Structure 1
Amino acid sequence: MAELKLTAEVRSEFGKGAARRIRREDKVPAVIYGHGADTVHVTLPGHALMMALKTANVLIDLDVEGRSELVIPKAVVRNPIKGFIEHVDLLAVKRGEKVNVEVAVHTEGELAPGANLLENVLNTLTVETEATNIPTSVTVSIEGLTAGDSIHAKDVPLPSGTTLVTDEDAVVIQVLAAQAEEPSAAEAAEAGAEA
């Protein structure tokens, strides 16, 4: 679990014009909410935030006017064309508090010999875990699986202190049999001529 420190500036200007001015200064408008407290509008350093968000489920220790605030990113809005971060919603958390987050599912191992196809039905699982101990991913073994085999959410090993929120019977990974392609009309005619 990565914990990074960033400094936030409280902002009092809102709207498109203010947001554009903030982004021109290589900063990102953001909102902090949670625990029944009033929403706090802040500005974050653009490059540092972008680097922090490269880590899945990062815990950010924000310095807001000298006060420390632990937050996790809940929603990140990116420019659809250029990809830069336009806005971030941050959820305030406390040490020891449980939160629901999505964690990536990774596979390890080799399928059984044969022409089988691995289908990742779910790329993430929703889990409940302590805010300061969020796993970046979970790993499941596909060693020796054959066509027709599947792995359900309840079969994915989770770190200690983490519980599954996703439906336990949801299929996460399944192995499909590779299907032979239909012969083309020319191949079918050629096979018929040989017979």
Structure 2
Amino acid sequence: MKQSFAISAEVRTMHGKGASRRLRREGKVPAIIYGGTENPQAIQVSANELMKSLKHEAFYSAILNVEIAGKAEKAVLKDLHRHPVRNDVMHMDLQRVLANVLLRMHIPLHFKGGDVAPGVKTGGGIVEHQQIQVEVECLPKDLPEFIEVDLSELNLNDAVHLSQLSLGEGVQFVELVRGNDISVAAVHLPRLPTEEELAEDAAKAAAATPAAVGKAKAAAKAPAPAAATKAAPAKKK
């Protein structure tokens, strides 16, 4: 059964970088909801509640129930702006969805059976995940939470393509519509380093050796720290 997510939002009246900084200090995340038949609306949501939802993979591809000032709307997460160091959410973009209008979303791939694939178990190969998510187009009611990829029958040098994956009725891959039957996973032998890569590693090691020797020589020449001496006890008179 699909997970459902609710977002409680407030109308945001303050705008600009300074106002956004104040909101974040108050534990709020500035956001915007747009699309559908209404104008874009600036909103703000609780940072703590949002972070709890973001821990669930399904949140990124689910139809969200957004309540703004007592009004319920359906939307999907379209973009997150994060702090480059702290990873805090700086801003969020939501897009309204309409029941009768197709939407495009990136859906995560769930891989299974890689450990028992003949190419891995007896062929000595490894699984390469070439895609971790794919873009689909469908009505909101048909939006899948994830797409399963079965790797259990793959032999060495086999691959799984989009056209081999099962989708629910009314769902299609955007890349297939464009004529691109891309592969999402493959089994192949581990890649050995090339002669150029081996030569580059050897050159780096040789360049690092003189520096290491120089440090060792400098440490050997440095005077030893003076030993601590105990004060002689005072003679009794």
Query: For this structure pair, what is the TM-score category when the shorter chain's length is used for normalisation?
Result: 0.7 to 0.9
In the alignment of these two chains, the number of paired residues is 184
1:81 and 2:85 are equivalent in the alignment: yes
Is the Cα–Cα contact under 8 Å of residues 142 and 168 in structure 2 kept in the other structure?
no
Quote the Cα distance in structure 1 between the aligned partners of 2:17 and 2:193. 53
User: Shift of the alpha carbon at 1:128?
Assistant: 1.3
CA 1:97/1:2 → structure 2, altered by over 3 Å: closer, same or farther?
A: farther
Alignment map for 1:119-130 (pairs within 5 Å)? 119-130=128-139
Using CA pairs under 8 Å that are at least 6 residues apart, name the structure with larger relative contact order, 1 or 2. 1
CA 1:77/1:132 → structure 2, altered by over 3 Å: closer, same or farther?
A: farther
Is the Cα–Cα contact under 8 Å of residues 95 and 130 in structure 1 kept in the other structure?
yes
Structure 2 unaligned segments of length 5 or more: list them: 199-237
Quote the Cα distance in structure 2 between the aligned partners of 1:4 and 1:178. 41
Deviation track 1:140-177 (CA, whole Å, cap 9, x = no partner) reads 11113122211111111113332111235111111112
TM-score normalised by L of structure 2: 0.71
CA RMSD of aligned residues (A): 2.1
Quote the Cα distance in structure 2 between the aligned partners of 1:79 and 1:62. 24
CA 1:179/1:41 → structure 2, altered by over 3 Å: closer, same or farther?
A: closer
Q: Which residue of 1 aligns with 2:153?
A: 144
Counterpart selection for 1:173 from 179, 185, 195: 185
CA 1:80/1:89 → structure 2, altered by over 3 Å: closer, same or farther?
A: same
User: Shift of the alpha carbon at 1:138?
Assistant: 0.8
1:4 and 2:5 are equivalent in the alignment: yes
Deviation track 1:101-126 (CA, whole Å, cap 9, x = no partner) reads 11111211122112102111111111
* Structure with a larger share of its residues in strand: 1
* Structure with a larger share of its residues in helix: 2
Q: Which residue of 2 aligns with 1:108?
A: 112
